[in-house]
Amino acid sequence: MKDSTGFNCIAAVLLMLFCSTAVDAQSSAVKSVLPHTVKIVGSGGMRGLEAYQSGILISSEGHVLTAWSYVLDSASTVTTNDGERFQCKLLGYDAKLEIAVVKIDAEGLPHVDLASAVDPAIGTPILAFCNCYGVATGDEPVSVQRGVVSAKTKLAAKRGSWQIPYTDDVFILDAITSNPGSAGGMVCDVRGRPVGLIGKESQDARTGLWLSYAIPFSKLTESVNRILDGKNLQEQNMTSRRTAEPLDPQLLGFALVPEVLNRTPPYIEFVREKTVAFRAGLLADDLVIEINGLPTASCRDVAKRLGQVDRDSPVTITIQRGSEFLTVTMSLLESN
């Protein structure tokens, strides 16, 4: 009996030490990661179009990785963890990944090294940092949620009736991160090592359930580096230059949905019969995502891209239809 009691006491002490060590590790991770997080406030301000989201500092010079959304439509404010506020400049975005990089005028900032990101196994404990519901303002820290990686799978999600273009790997989280303001936040393991970017509010395309997921940083690094290197085609070439006789949707035979926001997604509202667009197979509800290889995240982007193409030249348009991506080439010189 004495031996059994002694063994139980030793086991209890070891368990307490283990729990204490785990708690200390998480506390250390939280303290180290919080300075890398920012709060972003911009366009929006109504239910379903909240004017806030989260972001991550990815360089000491003030580069911030965040979600690509309407929040960045107008002048946006970035608030660092210590409460300092900056106006930010949009450097570029990737419409397929739904990410953007903005820049604030600051130096010597703590930041995340995306190259050090890890690929956690299923069941790995994680911490999610985000400004859900816009609770944090000033020097208040963002919210921190504990959870685990419950699955790694290909994303098949929708937002309303729109099928999300990103269909690659994501980490499904056992933590409720599908909240207003959470998009653009950071997921790390309990050692503080970066794991992924919290995705925008989305539902599973098959079940309709709300998803809490993070896109692995390994899937974002190439696009982020392209933006940082000034090779982002979304902003590069977005000039006022127009050809003498430019193309436009009407000439091709289709019309986009009304532009409600500065970056209203460029869905096709209708296609006229016996037109170039009709013969190319475009349909109502198609989403225009690229023109001549350049991403189009808004109706305004489509107008600018087509405005740089002479009407005598062919134009290649990539659209998303459900979960499919289709590319067609059209020309007004085609015989009727």
Domains along the sequence of the chain with CATH: 31-228 (2.40.10.120), 249-330 (2.30.42.10)
* Digit-coded pLDDT (tens) for 154-201: 998 877 656 777 889 999 999 989 899 999 999 999 999 999 999 999
pLDDT value of position 22: 53
**Nearest residue to 70 via CA among 281, 333, 298:** 298
pLDDT value of position 122: 95
* Digit-coded pLDDT (tens) for 303-312: 988 998 888 8
pLDDT value of position 236: 47
pLDDT value of position 46: 62
Lowest mean pLDDT among 196-200, 215-219, 239-243, 274-278: 239-243
Mean pLDDT along residues 205-228 = 92
pLDDT more than 70, % of the chain:
85
pLDDT value of position 95: 78
Beta partners for residue 270, in sequence order: 255
> pLDDT category, 235, cuts 50, 70, 90?
very low
Highest mean pLDDT out of 10-14, 57-61, 159-163, 317-321: 57-61
Residue 6 has pLDDT above 60, yes or no: no
Highest mean pLDDT out of 21-35, 115-129, 257-271: 115-129
> Hey, how many other C-beta atoms are within 10 angstroms of the C-beta on 266?
25
Residue 15 has pLDDT above 50, yes or no: no
> pLDDT category, 93, cuts 50, 70, 90?
confident
When comparing pLDDT for 291 and 110, which is higher?
Answer: 110
Residue 2 has pLDDT above 60, yes or no: no
Mean pLDDT along residues 137-165 = 86
pLDDT value of position 19: 47
Highest mean pLDDT out of 3-7, 43-47, 158-162, 212-216: 212-216
pLDDT value of position 4: 57
Lowest mean pLDDT among 98-102, 234-238, 273-277, 330-334: 234-238
d(CA 191, CA 138): 26
Q: At 173, list the tokens.
A: 């989280």
Residue 148 has pLDDT above 80, yes or no: yes
Chain CA centroid to CA 53, Å:
11
Calculate the alpha carbon distances from 208 to 78, 137, 169 in Å. Answer: 33, 32, 19
Mean pLDDT along residues 80-90 = 94
Calculate the alpha carbon distances from 321 to 6, 203, 269, 324 in Å. Answer: 67, 17, 13, 5
Residue 43 has pLDDT above 70, yes or no: yes
Calculate the alpha carbon distances from 167 to 8, 152, 173, 269 in Å. Answer: 50, 12, 17, 24
pLDDT mean across residues, the chain: 85
When comparing pLDDT for 298 and 151, which is higher?
Answer: 151
Kindly report whether the global pTM for this prediction surpasses the value 0.85: no
